[in-house]
Amino acid sequence: MIPELHRPLAADAVSPAGEEVVVTASAAECAALAVRMHLPAVRSLSCRFRLSPGPAAAITAEGRLEAVVVQTCVRSVEDFPATVAERFVVRFVPAGTERDDADPDSIDEIPYAGGVLDLGEAAAEQLALALDPYPRAPGAALPDPEPTDAVATPFAALAELRRRR
């Protein structure tokens, strides 16, 4: 299955001096990413990669992701625009050579097969990681609770019984 944002690059096309590649999502790709990420919208996404070859066919990618998305506020349940700007470092490695490193501070490894990296999918994954899992619109507050009839609550009824004694 081809991902929503597919930008294949042959690993052997990365020169020993390194390469710089920019991935920019089209309007259709942004719409597909919004569906995938359960967002009201992805308005734009651009990711700049600085690729450097390493030992054992590994390629290190230093990236800068910039996106404008629409998220739903967890407090007001209203949609609002949010800017995502994230720097990251990942390492592309041939499939099957990934390390079993549980250290959260180590560089994330992205396996590739057939000698082809997918920079688009890497950008999409970085967007997913950079999104706020509990987004709040600026100035959002919880709605005021509706006033309740004091007698209608169970504790108010008990208090009323106690007063009658």
Residue at 123 is within a domain: yes
- On whether the CB atoms of residues 111 and 98 are closer than 8 A, the answer is yes
Q: Which domain holds residue 141?
A: 8-164
Mean pLDDT of the chain: 90
Asked whether residue 109 is domain-assigned, the answer is: yes
Rg (C-alpha) for the chain, rounded Å, is 24
% of the chain with per-residue pLDDT over 70: 90
Work out whether the CA dihedral 30, 35, 66, 105 comes out positive or negative: negative
Average pLDDT over residues 117-143: 91
Q: Is the pLDDT of residue 32 over 70?
A: yes
Confidence grade of residue 6 (pLDDT, cut at 50, 70, 90)? very high
Return the pLDDT at 156: 72
pLDDT attached to residue 147: 59
54-107 per-position pLDDT tens digit:
999 999 999 999 999 999 999 889 999 999 999 999 999 999 988 887 778 889
Beta bridge partners of 113: 116
- Examine residue 97 and state whether it is found in any structural domain, yes or no: yes
Residues 86 and 130 sit within 8 Å (Cβ to Cβ): yes
Residue 3, domain member (yes or no): no
- Looking from the CA of 38 toward its CB, the CA atoms found within 13 Å total 5
Classify residue 1: in a domain, yes or no.
no
Residue 126: inside a domain, yes or no? yes
Identify whether the C-beta of residue 65 lies closer than 8 Å to the C-beta of residue 126: yes
| Residue 106, domain member (yes or no) | yes
Tell me if residue 134 falls in helix, strand or coil: coil
Overall number of domains in the chain: 1
The answer to whether position 28 is within a domain reads yes
Model confidence at 145, in pLDDT bands (50, 70, 90)?
low
What residues are paired with 85 via a beta bridge? 66
